[in-house]
Every structure is written in C-alpha cells, then in structure tokens.
Amino acid sequence: MNHSLFEMSGKTVLVTGASSGIGRETAILLSIMGATVVLTGRDTGRLEETLSRMAGDGHKVEPFDLGDVDAIPAWIKRIASQTGPLHGLVHSAGIQHTIPLRVLSAAKLEEQMRTNFTSAVMLLKGFRQKGCVAPRSSVVLLSSVLGLAGQPAVSVYSASKAALIGFARSAAVELAGEGIRVNCVAPGYVETEMAGEIRTKMTPEQFEAISRLHPLGLGTPGDIAHSIAFLLSEAGRWITGTTLVVDGGYTAH
Ligand SMILES: NC(=O)c1ccc[n+]([C@@H]2O[C@H](COP(=O)([O-])OP(=O)(O)OC[C@H]3O[C@@H](n4cnc5c(N)ncnc54)[C@H](OP(=O)(O)O)[C@@H]3O)[C@@H](O)[C@H]2O)c1
C-alpha cells in the first residue's frame, strides 16, 4: 500500500462552485491534502469564507460567472499564466430548477444546460490548452444520480447531468493521449444549500420518501469530497471515462 498516492502536495487544482456545498468542502479537503487551490464562483464574499477555512497558503480566489461560456478558455489561460500548469479541475458549480414540463420555458432550459453542461465542455477545452495543463492531470465533473434515474419536475436537470456522463466518456478517450483523465461523480441527495432550496419545494412526506430511498441516509458534502479527491489523486491513475456513484445506496434499489 502506497499512502503517498493520495498526496496532493505540489499540485494545483481549479475548483468551480467553491463558494458553497460540495465545491467548498472539496476545496477545504484538497488544501488539507496539500494541494494549492484556485477557488471560483460568483460570490466573492462566500469564496473568501471558503478560503478562511482552508489549510496552507498560496490559494487564490478567482470570481467568474460560468454563464459567460465563450470567455472560459481565455480565463483559464490567464489563471494558469499566474499559477503555472493545473493538475486538476473539479466542476462543482451547478443549478437545479424544479420545474414541471408544462411550465418549462426554453430560457430556463438553456440556463440549466449552460451552467451545468456547456460550461463543463468549455472548462475542459480551456484546461487542455498548451501551458494550462500539467502532465498526468485529472478532471472531475459533478453529475448526479438524477442523470441515471428519473424523478418528476427535474427532467432538464437530469438531462444536463446525463450529458456530463456521455461527455466524460468521449473526452476521456480523446484526451488520454494528452495525459488527462476525465471522470464524473454522481451524488445522491447531499445536504447543501442547493438541497435545502429543493427541500423547500417538497412536503415533509415527499422529503421523508426521498430520505428512505437512501439506505445509508442522506449524504454530507464531505462524503462527496473524499470521492473527488480520490479521482484527482494518483490513487485513481488508471480510472478514466467512468462515473463514480456516491449515493448511500439510492441507485442500488
Ligand atoms: N446537493 C445535492 O444533493 C447534489 C446531488 C447531486 C449532484 N449535485 C451536484 O453537485 C454540484 C454541487 O452542488 P451543491 O449542492 O454543492 O450546490 P450549491 O451549494 O448550491 O453550490 C452551487 C455552486 O455553484 C456555483 N454557481 C452556480 N451558478 C454559477 C455560475 N453561473 N457561475 C459560477 N458559479 C456558479 C455557486 O456559486 P455562486 O453562487 O458563488 O456563483 C455555488 O458555489 C452541482 O453540480 C450539483 O448539481 C448536488
């Protein structure tokens, strides 16, 4: 057993969604494992709060609206020119609208696809640019069990998360020769800000039913952060194009 495979010292990782929930917890964990982390999200105050909870120094706060998808590759180039080549990318930024099809608009559809999926494609396009990426790097995209199993009123969110799974498979094959691994993590229901907002749209009975579908109970951001860190580290060096389901048994039914 080689424990140093989990070591992240000397590695720089860009984490989107670092101002909240899973992204925040991942940034904190990676800093404890020795990585230097570039934190991004739109809310500078909440990014600074994440920074204040991190171990080590040299981390950077880089506010950016991922809705501006065309600007992503140049933005990554600028970051890498300051930090040096990146060893990892975690795409945890995402939005979930609970909207039944009968009231869905094309604008709401496009907003979810842009934030959850198109941004992921442009992030990877930016990440793989010459000078931006270090040898033997790893990308983790946050999908969801809803990309694998259905639920009412979240069809577009599900589609955006399923798209990430298909994208990761082909991108993994395309980029293996460049030394870049690409994987997804698909969480079940994790208690974060996003989940809290979704909960407000449910009756207590509906929430109880969702809880019961998780035989190990609901997840914490830390449960997901550990899986992400594994895939980023050298311990995951032979894993690419896959989706790691971390769901307390939700999809085991
Ligand atoms: N929580 C769950 O139960 C669950 C389950 C399965 C999958 N997931 C997935 O896991 C990921 C993280 O979820 P979470 O629960 O941690 O969510 P969260 O607490 O709501 O955090 C979402 C993050 O996305 C960022 N974000 C949203 N829109 C953005 C934009 N246009 N540009 C830049 N950043 C943006 C937010 O930052 P700002 O507000 O600062 O912009 C925030 O940091 C998401 O992709 C989600 O779909 C979550």
State the 10-residue block means of pLDDT for the chain, 253 residues long. 86 98 98 98 98 98 98 98 98 97 98 98 98 98 98 96 99 98 98 88 90 96 98 98 98 94
Mind listing the pLDDT tens digit for each residue in 131-179?
Answer: 999 999 999 999 999 999 999 999 999 999 999 999 999 999 999 999 9
Range of the domain at 64: 3-252
Radius of gyration (C-alpha) of the chain in whole angstroms = 17
Element (H, E) at 182: strand 180-187
Rounded CA-CA distance 185/145 in Å is 9
Rounded CA-CA distance 34/25 in Å is 14
Query: How far does residue 209's CA lie from ligand 1's centre (Å)?
Result: 23
Query: Positive or negative, the Cα torsion across 232, 186, 181, 27?
Result: negative
Domains in the chain: how many in total?
A: 1
Rounded CA-CA distance 48/18 in Å is 10
Ligand 1, residues at Cβ distance < 6 Å: 16-17, 19-23, 41-43, 46, 65-67, 92-96, 115, 142, 144, 187, 189-190, 192-195
The residues assigned a catalytic role are 157
* CATH code where residue 186 lies: 3.40.50.720
Q: pTM for the complete prediction?
A: 0.98
